[in-house]
Amino acid sequence: MTKLAEIAFREFSHFLRTLVSLTATFLLPACTPITTPNLLTWERASDGSYSIAPQSVSTITDATHMVGELGTVTHGGRIETNADGSGSYTGGVGLTVHAEVQTLDSEQVAVPLDEDGLLLYTFYANLGAARDAVTAQGVDVSPIFPMAAAWNPAVSPLIELAPADNAAYATGSNTFMLLPDGGNRDVPLLANEGVIFHEFGHAVFHLLTTGDPTAPPLAIDNTQESYYWQASLHEGFADTQASLLLDDPAFIDASISMPLRHLDDDHAVVTSDILPSTRVGGVLDDPYPLGTVYASFAWDLRVASDPDTAYQIVLNAIAAWSPQTASDMDGTVYLADLLQSAKDAGLGDAACASNTARFSLLAVPCP
């Protein structure tokens, strides 16, 4: 090796060493998985108020790339509605949450450097809490996990979902859609624990009524009343699950005031304009008003007993109802099972009073 070549090699190897050390300093920390279970999140207190605080999220194994036992969050991709009524998700790319590990409250905490990361950490914490709360009620939700979660995906217009400021569950694809804060809210909808308990309610209702998280829904023909019953009973169960398992009849209010979704007053009553028979053929269906009646019925049972008893009554009613075909998606048949299930639990009087106040138009007799 000539002197010149020797110097050049020495310089080159110095350059390489410098590059390696720079890489180690500036690049590796961003790629190295953050494995601390302590994540900074929006955290809901039992009184329904929120603060930004560290939470231990034992389900996450890689908080840099949003990987853990509940599933992996990816960025983008596309969610479609298929001809058979199921959803499908074409997966997005790997996601990196920009976060750094800091010592807070004497614990090592992963601190996101932007609001999007804070939303994703909060989602993961709340999905785990929802899974554990439903499991504690005796429901085997293991077939749902691991599930896909899509951060800010492209969404088919058929899904009728605003492309911001929300969370949603795509039945059939067993996928959560996670959309950024579009309203500059103190508590974005995606960070609202009740919203995730509600959306997970769709996953549970779909599992209980089809037996398979990847099966298409029972009712897929939007020219039939069963399709609209299904949509409202889905919303009713989702709100039932969120309100009872968090014991909060107005869980959305931390994010956005929605008095029409409050379950602890008497406004939710079946009227002809919210029944499926008048919704068939509508341009934009609103399944919530009728769903809120069913969730308010469940809340009436909670007032007469306790959240666990009310939730078990609903689970037992779904088991007795056990819809097998689209035509079984009928809220009057389901209401009869709800009334019987409440009676079996010793709450027949409360259920009959609620039936009279809220469902008189359906004319389902008390057992």
Nearer to Zn ion, 233 or 335 (CB): 233
- What is the Cα–Cα distance from 197 to 206, expressed in whole angstroms? 14
Give yes or no for residue 219 binding Zn ion (CB under 5 A): no
Q: Which residue is nearest to Zn ion (CB)?
A: 238
| Nearest distance from C-beta of residue 252 to Zn ion, angstroms | 11
Asked if residue 270 lies in contact with residue 357, where contact means CB atoms within 8 angstroms, the answer is no
Among the listed ranges 66-74, 211-219, 235-243, 272-280, the one in contact with Zn ion (CB under 5 A) is 235-243
Task: Output the smallest distance, CB 205 to Zn ion, in A.
Answer: 10
Bond prior to 249 in cis (omega within 30° of 0)? no
Nearer to Zn ion, 119 or 177 (CB): 177
Q: Which C-beta is closer to Zn ion: that of 40 or that of 203?
A: 203
3 state SS of 140: coil
Query: Which CB, 181 or 239, lies closer to Zn ion?
Result: 239
Query: Least CB distance from residue 127 to Zn ion, whole Å?
Result: 15
- 350 is a site residue for Zn ion (CB under 5 A): no
- Least CB distance from residue 251 to Zn ion, whole Å? 12
Query: Least distance in Å: CB of 291 to Zn ion?
Result: 8
Alpha-carbon span 141 to 130, nearest angstrom: 10
Structure-block tokens of residue 318: 């779904």
Query: Binding segment for Zn ion among 117-125, 140-148, 228-236, 294-302 (CB under 5 A)?
Result: 228-236
Measured from the CB of residue 271, what is the shortest distance to Zn ion in angstroms?
Answer: 21
Beta strands in the chain (DSSP E): 38-44, 50-56, 60-62, 67-68, 71-75, 78-81, 87-90, 99-104, 107-112, 148-151, 154-155, 166-170, 175-179
Which lies closer to Zn ion via its Cβ, residue 111 or residue 177?
Answer: 177
Nearer Cβ to Zn ion (24/158): 158
Q: Give the interface segment with Zn ion, choosing from 10-18, 29-37, 106-114, 237-245 (CB under 5 A).
A: 237-245
Minimum distance of Zn ion from residue 81's CB (angstroms): 16
Cβ neighbour number for residue 161 with a 10 Å cutoff: 16
Token couple for 315: 């689970």
Q: At what angle do helices 225-246 and 115-136 cross, to 10 degrees?
A: 90
182: closest CA among 199, 155, 162, 210? 162
Sequence letter at residue 140: D
Q: Which is nearer to Zn ion, 73 or 170 (CB)?
A: 170
Q: How many residues bind Zn ion (CB under 5 A)?
A: 2
Can you spell out the DSSP letters for 158-224?
GG---SSSEEEEETTTTEEEEE--SS--SS-GGG-HHHHHHHHHHHHHHHHHHS-TTSPPS---TTS
The reply on whether position 238 binds Zn ion by CB under 5 A is: yes
**DSSP H or E run through 288:** helix 288-304
By beta-carbon proximity to Zn ion, the closer residue of 235 and 300 is 235
Nearer to Zn ion, 235 or 337 (CB): 235
Judged by CB under 5 A, the chain residues 167 through 186 that form the site for Zn ion are none
Report d(CA 58, CA 51) in Å as an integer. Answer: 20
Stretch that binds Zn ion, among 184-192, 220-228, 229-237, 347-355 (CB under 5 A): 229-237
Give the separation between CA 197 and CA 136, rounded to whole angstroms: 14
Shortest separation between residue 168's beta carbon and Zn ion, angstroms: 7
Q: Could you give the count of Cα atoms lying within 13 Å of 90 in the half-sphere of its Cβ?
A: 8
| Residue 80 Cβ vs Zn ion, minimum distance, rounded to whole Å | 19
Site of interaction with Zn ion (CB under 5 A): 235, 238
